[in-house]
């Protein structure tokens, strides 16, 4: 399964930016396929996508991906030799955003401790 997921991820990472000419996707700063989790029967696959952009642009880009899922599935079927190509379900990967928020909070705590040490 891990090998299949990696193969699907690599192919989708190549297909998504080059094959979709939707202005909603071109508005975002960056879009990356961060992972794929195919079901054991390979009927469906969750595609994790990290999007860098504003909230509205991110929502629009995710809608565009969902709208293009049939097209992306057919493109994926041409590239990957599988008995049947899984239905794609796109999910926003917020791991990078959460990591940046944690890093920001830790930095703020460090700054506050530095200010307290300087005063005492």
- Structure confidence at residue 16 (pLDDT): 86
Where exactly are the structural domains of the chain?
Answer: 2-94
Tell me the pTM: 0.78
Q: Are 38 and 54 in contact (CB under 8 A)?
A: no
Give pLDDT < 70 ranges for the chain: 118-120
- Structure confidence at residue 91 (pLDDT): 95
- Structure confidence at residue 90 (pLDDT): 95
- Structure confidence at residue 60 (pLDDT): 92
- Structure confidence at residue 119 (pLDDT): 61
What are the two backbone dihedrals, phi and then psi, of residue 90, each rounded to the nearest 5 degrees? -90, 130
Superfamily (CATH) of domain 2-94: K homology (KH) domain (3.30.300.20)
**Per the structure block, which two tokens stand in for 16?**
């998504």
91: exposed, middle or buried (C-beta count within 10 Å: 0-12, 13-18, 19+)?
middle
**Per the structure block, which two tokens stand in for 6?**
């990696």
Give the residue among 54, 47, 20, 42 at the shortest CA–CA distance from 32: 47
């Amino acid at each position: 399964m891990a090998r299949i997921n990696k193969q699907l991820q690599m192919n989708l990472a190549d297909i998504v930016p080059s094959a979709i000419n939707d202005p909603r996707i071109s508005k975002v700063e960056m879009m990356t396929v961060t992972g794929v989790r195919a079901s054991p029967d390979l009927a469906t696959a969750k595609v994790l996508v990290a999007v860098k952009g504003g909230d509205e642009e991110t929502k629009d880009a995710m809608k565009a991906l969902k709208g293009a899922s049939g097209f992306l599935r057919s493109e994926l079927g041409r590239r990957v030799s599988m008995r049947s190509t899984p239905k794609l379900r796109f999910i926003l990967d917020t791991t990078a955003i959460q990591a940046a928020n944690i890093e920001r909070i830790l930095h703020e705590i460090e700054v506050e401790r530095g200010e307290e040490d300087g005063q005492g």
